Amino acid sequence: MTSSDLQEQMGLKALNLLQEDADKIEKLIEVQMENLATRYCPLYEEVLDTQMYGFSRQVDYAVRIGLIQEAVGKGIMTKLERNLALLYEAMNNKD
């Protein structure tokens, strides 16, 4: 394997792992959206904030190592933050 193949491979692995973790958070957001009317759990917000913080640290770290581009990292974070904002909006409208 050449060094540029390896760099590409590691970058892809770093990105796939981030996407996996982002999907888990998306899933948490979806479940809470679906249960908004029925089984609302007040701890959800705290769990989601903690997950988002941990995830943002991973994204930053990948950018600092040079495995993913800053714009790509920002894109992943923005998408998650947007969905989280939609959830919080729906939660507020429920009150």
Positions in the binding site for a copy of itself (CB under 8 A) = 1-3, 5-7, 10, 13-14, 17, 50, 53-55, 57-58, 61-62, 64-67
Q: How far is the CB of 16 from a copy of itself (least distance, A)?
A: 10
CA angle 34, 79, 37 (to 5 degrees): 15
The residue (of 1 and 71) whose beta carbon lies closer to a copy of itself is 1
- Which lies closer to a copy of itself via its Cβ, residue 65 or residue 85? 65
- Find out whether 66 and 26 touch, Cβ atoms under 8 Å: no
| 14 and 62 Cβ atoms separated by less than 8 Å | yes
